[in-house]
């Protein structure tokens, strides 16, 4: 049975650096025999979690009827995920944040939805390094998130890429994104 990785890409730039790096990882995954679906979070209707606990009362992933309903079933069925985001204001962007916040409901119903599954993270920023950009803050949050959902190993790719095309000019960054895909494909064998 073919394994499947979901890539949740949250940049508003359809062909920006985040998308380019996610595409590199996706290509390597496909070459490794893994099915890949890239989901662009920007533009989807995903409301913030209301912490109403309707998920607990009604035993559903969430009572809000928006685009997350479709994503929940895909997330549960996936064999792993890659979360890709630009760094905005010292962490990952709002599109990814609201998506991850909505995992609250799914975790109440199926707490093992990512247990043991590999997680990849791709981050780009306009600053000079992982510390001054704030990407280190995002990495810390992803470490906590992975521990809470009991995901398998977390692999990271991050680097400076501000203007469209910057990622493609950085051969090392492109190679690290490719290696992320190769590594995750290897984990699923």
Give the model confidence (pLDDT) of 129-169 as tens digits: 999 999 999 999 999 999 999 998 899 999 999 999 999 99
Tell me which CATH code domain 4-187 carries.
3.40.50.360
Cα–chain-centroid distance for residue 143? 13
DSSP-derived letter for residue 153 is -
Distance CA(82)–CA(57), nearest Å, equals 30
DSSP-derived letter for residue 90 is T
Give the model confidence (pLDDT) of 69-109 as tens digits: 999 999 999 999 999 999 999 999 999 999 999 999 999 89
Tell me what the mean pLDDT of segment 13-19 comes to. 95
């Amino acid at each position: 049975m073919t394994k499947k990785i979901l890539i949740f890409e949250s940049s508003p730039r359809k062909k920006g650096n985040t998308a380019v790096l996610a595409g590199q990882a996706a290509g390597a995954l496909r070459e490794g025999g893994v099915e890949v679906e890239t989901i662009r979070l920007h533009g989807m209707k995903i409301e913030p979690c209301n912490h109403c606990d309707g998920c607990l009362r009604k035993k559903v992933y969430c009572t809000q009827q928006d685009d997350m309903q479709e994503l929940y079933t895909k997330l549960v069925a996936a064999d792993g995920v890659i979360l890709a985001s630009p760094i905005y204001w010292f962490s990952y962007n709002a599109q990814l944040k609201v998506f991850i916040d909505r995992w609250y409901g799914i975790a109440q119903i199926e707490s093992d939805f990512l247990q043991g599954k590999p997680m990849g993270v791709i981050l780009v920023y306009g600053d000079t390094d992982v510390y001054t950009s704030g990407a280190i803050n995002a990495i810390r949050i992803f470490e906590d998130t992975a521990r809470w959902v009991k995901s398998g190993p977390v692999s990271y790719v991050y680097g400076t890429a501000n203007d469209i095309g910057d990622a493609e000019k950085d051969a090392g960054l492109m190679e690290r994104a490719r290696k992320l895909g190769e590594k995750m494909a290897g984990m699923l064998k």
